[in-house]
Structure 1
Amino acid sequence: MSVETSEPVFKNGVLRWVDARLPVLSWGYNEFMAYPAPRNLNYWWNFGSLAGFCLIVQIMTGLVLSMHYNPSAAGAFQSVEHIMRDVNYGWLLRYVHANGASMFFIVVYIHIFRGLYYGSYKAPRELLWMLGVVILLLMMATAFMGYVLPWGQMSFWGATVITNLFSAIPLVGEPIVTWLWGGFSVDDPTLNRFFSLHFVLPFVIVAVVFLHILALHQFGSNNPVGIDLTKTDKIPFHPYYTVKDLFGLSIFLIFFGFFVFYAPDFLGHADNYVPANPLQTPPHIVPEWYFLPFYAILRSTVFEKLFAPLALLGYVGIDAKLAGVLLMFSAIAVLFVLPWLDGSKVRSARFRPIYKWVYWLLLIDVVILTWVGGQVPTDRVVWIGQFAALYYFVHFLVIIPLLGKFERPRPLPESIGKPVLGRARLQPAE
């Protein structure tokens, strides 16, 4: 069955009149209903639409919460308690919003690892992948600022530690920290800045998501086989994938609802239920779980027992703190250049036997980094974190480029239907 986008015929006369003068309905129909999608997409492709659902939930609940929130050091913590205790269904709004951030990151991380497995970052979808990384960065900035707003102990000290990292940047570091704080310590101006940015950035994310969708529809979705498609390999997005997405959404809501109604504080930290106290430092400052892999990479330069050459960087003005900051940001930056680091012509890991094993090693490595980031930094924990951080960069900067040159992929099928419909005559991978 082949499909081509076409102008829809609306039965309603008002809709026809509006669409003739402002063709947004035709555009939406062609882009989200008649859009030709590969016929072999599996449930791992549900996570793109789930990410969009999470973004809408965060914006809607955030708008209502902002009506009751007081962005001041004196009133922020009490306003959150007011929302929980006095606002009708305020507890539900806050738990949905707080746990929704975690659900958003879970969905996006799965979405990213799906792209890594099936090679969705390869040509001609490089810009699509890069826009996705931009969305991840904006999500991190938004989530960090939102985590500060309850003004609990972990919020206050997390903001103090993370913003202080910018002071490691030579020459401009201290002015940047002062600008972020709005003064010389984390206080009222800091909270006002973070509240304003936390409110605005989700709408910036919406704009980038729109560009992400445009880039996706320019060349079409990748598929599990990873080969280019013909017209007969495509079907309309609706109703086939809308039904599939709705099923995935129902399963996701069960998972989401469990945390909201039965374990609302499982992914949070108990210290954030204590009002911020600038005179009392928590025994163990730890960010939210979705920042832990990058926090572990940041801390990997604290001890120089493994990376002894880092001591040499001090002669050029790069101390352990600055090196950690550079590595932390490089962990994201390396994703931007991944399409050019991987020189293999084959997209899907199904046909790359060595890459498939390396992929699972990366996933295990990220899980280890997440665990390390949440632990007290003893010598043993930091050593594990250093090895895991080292492998993370070796994976992208050494192993992936070498595999692109020396790996011998298995032959590719001629079409996505051949592996299912019968014995395929295979074409050799380039």
Structure 2
Amino acid sequence: MAGLHQSEFDNPVIRWIDTRLPVFTMMQKEYGVFPTPKNFNYFWNFGALAMVVLIIMIVTGIFLAMNYQPNADLAFASVQHIMRDVNYGWLLRYTHQNGASMFFIVTYIHIFRGLYYGSYKSPRELLWMLGVVILIIMMATAFMGYVLPWGQMSYWGATVITNLFSAFPVVGSKIVTLLWGGFSVDNPTLNRFFALHYLLPFVLVGVIFLHVAALHITGSNNPLGIDVKSPQDTLPFHPYYTIKDSVGIGVFLTIFAIFIFFAPNYLGDPNNFIQANPMQTPADIVPEWYFLPFYAILRSVPDKLLGVCLMFGSLIIMFFLPWLDTSKVRSCRFRPLYRPTLFVWVLACLVLGACGAHKPEGIWVTLSRIGTLYYFAQFLVIMPILGKLERPLPLPESISHPVVGPRGGGPLPTGAAAKPMEKA
């Protein structure tokens, strides 16, 4: 019939829908026959893992919201009601609670993969920047969600973090009052945070849609960091990478389940099992583990405004990474000088995480300052200079070349110079 999309599917129901709304054709194009580099390793699983965790978080969050009371007098008791009285409420809460940590674990590994293989470089700059936006929205959502149980650490964490905005001159106090909905962290604050915590995951879905759309326009990077040069360099996404992703998802869900059923509170703070008390300040106020490096950067300097600027700057600087790295080579496999500096940067982040978990005194202050200095030096000094001075190893001619060899006989050593194919 004229005007209808011509569907290629055999199933009559799918074909009827697809001729009128070609969603199945689009899915087949973008996730079926979509060409992807043939040399992906398991680091490329973590994007799919992040999508799986996000879906789990949204589903469990919706069911938790059905039983939660965003009221300062009732919130703590409603969480206990979910745990004790709601059918499988304990499972919903532990899945949601540990899912936040799992989300950050897979996201941080996903970011490391992008840094190691140069996935932020041309033509994927906007793809990377959308990824940074996703990280910031994730952090805002997680912070607001941590406040909702209305335990001691929830209450005082909200008090400390929201007070940071008061460091900004002129507008700082107005921002704090707007966040609080009054002159202290109280019932209006909890209502604001609950509404935003429920809304932001759907905003996150929209940004992820743009992230994936940008990926499908520019195509995926690969471990060699070189462009696809021929159809022989690619494989269709299905079934090759759907199966590979399924293996990674199975392993991940097993680890996730171990935390849920055997160590559900391992990553939490015991103080959050005590109801919020504005008259009693905990001995140590620390955020969740995934915020600790940024918390250490905040406390590494004595000036409050400078600390806040450094903390936010540690995220904002990521937007400019495609231009701060001046090297023309993407993958660290071929950058012998830059690769160890990246691992030192990862070590600095881990040290900052340990510093954030301890009181800002003694050796921890010194380590925080060293870690903060190296964190910013990596982006502002080391990457621009090494990009100009480093002599990368020779790149292979194509993605297929290191896999099948010059005559299809065997693999070449990683980083070996590719020789032209001999004529028969």
Q: After TM superposition, is the score higher than 0.5?
A: yes
How many Å separate the matches in 2 of 1:133 and 1:30?
A: 27
Structure 1 partner of 2:158: 159
Any residues of structure 2 matched to 1:361-372 within 5 Å, and which? 361-372=344-355
Any residues of structure 2 matched to 1:129-144 within 5 Å, and which? 129-144=128-143
Q: Please, which of 378, 383, 395 is the counterpart of residue 361 of structure 2?
A: 378
The answer to whether the Cα contact below 8 Å between 2:64 and 2:92 also exists between their aligned partners in 1 is yes
Deviation string 1:294-329 (CA, Å, 9 cap, x unpaired) is: 000000112xxxxxxxxxxxxxxxxx1000000000
* SS of aligned partner of 2:185: coil
Any residues of structure 2 matched to 1:297-376 within 5 Å, and which? 297-302=297-302, 320-376=303-359
The answer to whether the Cα contact below 8 Å between 1:152 and 1:273 also exists between their aligned partners in 2 is yes
* SS of aligned partner of 1:95: helix
Any residues of structure 2 matched to 1:31-430 within 5 Å, and which? 31-229=30-228, 230-302=230-302, 320-423=303-406, 426=417
How many Å separate the matches in 1 of 2:386 and 2:296?
A: 27
Q: Which amino acid aligns with 2:389?
A: F
How many Å separate the matches in 2 of 1:73 and 1:32?
A: 46
Deviation string 1:369-424 (CA, Å, 9 cap, x unpaired) is: 11100111112111110010011000110000001100000000001111121257
The answer to whether the Cα contact below 8 Å between 2:7 and 2:15 also exists between their aligned partners in 1 is no
The answer to whether the Cα contact below 8 Å between 1:133 and 1:336 also exists between their aligned partners in 2 is yes
The answer to whether the Cα contact below 8 Å between 2:351 and 2:371 also exists between their aligned partners in 1 is yes
How many Å separate the matches in 2 of 1:294 and 1:388?
A: 11
| Cα distance change of structure 1 residues 22 and 8 upon mapping to structure 2, 3 Å threshold | closer
How many Å separate the matches in 2 of 1:213 and 1:15?
A: 25
The answer to whether the Cα contact below 8 Å between 1:51 and 1:107 also exists between their aligned partners in 2 is yes
Q: Which amino acid aligns with 2:417?
A: L
The answer to whether the Cα contact below 8 Å between 1:77 and 1:151 also exists between their aligned partners in 2 is yes
Q: What CA RMSD, in Å, does the superposition of the two structures yield over aligned residues?
A: 1.2
* SS of aligned partner of 2:72: coil
The answer to whether the Cα contact below 8 Å between 1:8 and 1:29 also exists between their aligned partners in 2 is no
* Structure 1: tracts of 5 or more residues without a match: 1-6, 303-319
Tell me the TM-score normalized by structure 2: 0.94
The answer to whether the Cα contact below 8 Å between 2:401 and 2:418 also exists between their aligned partners in 1 is no
The answer to whether the Cα contact below 8 Å between 2:293 and 2:349 also exists between their aligned partners in 1 is yes
How many Å separate the matches in 1 of 2:58 and 2:33?
A: 28
How many Å separate the matches in 1 of 2:201 and 2:73?
A: 26
How many Å separate the matches in 1 of 2:134 and 2:377?
A: 25
Q: Which amino acid aligns with 1:356?
A: R
How many Å separate the matches in 2 of 1:12 and 1:117?
A: 44
Q: Which amino acid aligns with 1:249?
A: I
How many Å separate the matches in 1 of 2:365 and 2:284?
A: 15
The answer to whether the Cα contact below 8 Å between 2:333 and 2:339 also exists between their aligned partners in 1 is yes
How many Å separate the matches in 2 of 1:19 and 1:421?
A: 40
Aligned residues: 405
**Which deviates more from structure 2 when the two are superposed, residues 28-37 or residues 397-406?**
28-37
* SS of aligned partner of 1:419: helix
The answer to whether the Cα contact below 8 Å between 2:7 and 2:22 also exists between their aligned partners in 1 is no
Tell me the TM-score normalized by structure 1: 0.93
* SS of aligned partner of 2:283: coil
How many Å separate the matches in 1 of 2:279 and 2:269?
A: 19
* SS of aligned partner of 1:416: coil
How many Å separate the matches in 2 of 1:8 and 1:355?
A: 50
Q: Which amino acid aligns with 2:236?
A: P
Q: Which amino acid aligns with 2:100?
A: A
What's the offset of the Cα at 1:427? 6.2
Q: Which amino acid aligns with 2:386?
A: L
* Structure 2: tracts of 5 or more residues without a match: 1-5, 407-411, 420-424
What's the offset of the Cα at 1:8? 6.4
What's the offset of the Cα at 1:256? 0.5
What's the offset of the Cα at 1:426? 3.3
How many Å separate the matches in 1 of 2:199 and 2:273?
A: 26
How many Å separate the matches in 1 of 2:417 and 2:358?
A: 49
**Which deviates more from structure 2 when the two are superposed, residues 370-379 or residues 41-50?**
370-379
Deviation string 1:255-287 (CA, Å, 9 cap, x unpaired) is: 111110111011000000000000000000000
Q: Which amino acid aligns with 1:254?
A: T
How many Å separate the matches in 1 of 2:144 and 2:182?
A: 17
Q: Which amino acid aligns with 1:388?
A: G
The answer to whether the Cα contact below 8 Å between 2:224 and 2:331 also exists between their aligned partners in 1 is yes
* SS of aligned partner of 2:36: strand
Structure 1 partner of 2:409: none
How many Å separate the matches in 1 of 2:176 and 2:372?
A: 26
Q: Which amino acid aligns with 1:24?
A: V
How many Å separate the matches in 1 of 2:282 and 2:400?
A: 58
Q: Which amino acid aligns with 1:75?
A: L
How many Å separate the matches in 2 of 1:11 and 1:288?
A: 51
What's the offset of the Cα at 1:45? 0.2
How many Å separate the matches in 2 of 1:379 and 1:177?
A: 31
The answer to whether the Cα contact below 8 Å between 2:67 and 2:78 also exists between their aligned partners in 1 is yes
What's the offset of the Cα at 1:29? 1.4
> Which segments of structure 1 move beyond 6 Å, counting only runs of 4 or more?
none
The answer to whether the Cα contact below 8 Å between 2:76 and 2:275 also exists between their aligned partners in 1 is yes
**Which deviates more from structure 2 when the two are superposed, residues 11-20 or residues 338-347?**
11-20
What's the offset of the Cα at 1:16? 1.3
How many Å separate the matches in 2 of 1:94 and 1:32?
A: 32
* SS of aligned partner of 2:337: helix
Deviation string 1:19-56 (CA, Å, 9 cap, x unpaired) is: 11211211111111111111100000000000000000
How many Å separate the matches in 2 of 1:97 and 1:368?
A: 28
